[in-house]
Structures are given as structure tokens and as C-alpha cells.
């Protein structure tokens, strides 16, 4: 019994160490990607804008209500996607939202 325990112990310890090393590598990769994302966004902002579509124009989108301003509005996530919170552009005037 003792012999089999001593034979299993190194494999167990190897798996624990390997799992911890993998977790550290994953955390380091996430930190690396986060730093690169921040750097990319800073560089893009220094050029004045990000690549992609422009926000919509809210001119005359709120009917007679003024001032009609552009707003980012969160869309409720689907039940399956816990970490995904999409947003969309809306025009806002006096607490009411209008489609651009």
C-alpha cells in the first residue's frame, strides 16, 4: 500500500505543479493582451479616432424635442452570454430614446 502511495504521489504533485504553471501562463497572456489593447487604443486615440464605422447623426431624429444628443445604450444580454454586454447608438432627448 505504501509503495503504491509513493508511486502515485510524484504524479499527483506533477499534475498540481503543471496546473498551477498553466494558470500562471494564462494570467500572463491575459495581462499581455490587455496591455496591448490599452496601447492600441491609446495610439488610435492619438490619431483622433478609431478605425470603424462612425456614430450616427442625431440631427432631426427626436422630432420637435431639443436638444437631441447621441447616447450609447446597453442592450440586455442573452441568458447564455454572461460576460457579453452589447451597446447600441440611440438618440436621446429629455429622457426619451429615439432610433437614429
Give the tens place of pLDDT for each residue, 28-53.
Answer: 665 665 566 556 555 555 555 545 66
Out of 10, 28, 51, pick the residue that ends a domain: 51
pTM above 0.85, yes or no: no
Residue 20 binned pLDDT confidence (cut-offs 50, 70, 90): very low
Residue 38, all three cell numbers: 490599452
Contacts for 44 with CB less than 8 Å, ≥ 6 apart: 50, 51
Q: So what's the pLDDT on residue 40?
A: 57
Question: Are 2 and 35 part of one and the same domain?
Answer: yes
Instruction: Kindly state the average pLDDT of the residues 59-84.
Output: 80
Domain count, the chain: 2
Question: Are 34 and 70 part of one and the same domain?
Answer: no
Question: Are 47 and 65 part of one and the same domain?
Answer: no
Task: Write out the residue range of the structural domain in which residue 39 sits.
Answer: 1-51
Question: Are 47 and 60 part of one and the same domain?
Answer: no
Amino acid at each position: 500500500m505504501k509503495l503504491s502511495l509513493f508511486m502515485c504521489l510524484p504524479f499527483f504533485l506533477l499534475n498540481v505543479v503543471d496546473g498551477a504553471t498553466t494558470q500562471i501562463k494564462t494570467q500572463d497572456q491575459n495581462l499581455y493582451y490587455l496591455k496591448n489593447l490599452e496601447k492600441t487604443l491609446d495610439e488610435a486615440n492619438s490619431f483622433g479616432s478609431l478605425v470603424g464605422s462612425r456614430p450616427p447623426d442625431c440631427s432631426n431624429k427626436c422630432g420637435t424635442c431639443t436638444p437631441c444628443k447621441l447616447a450609447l445604450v446597453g442592450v440586455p444580454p442573452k441568458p447564455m452570454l454572461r460576460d457579453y454586454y452589447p451597446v447600441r447608438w440611440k438618440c436621446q432627448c429629455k429622457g426619451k430614446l429615439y432610433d437614429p
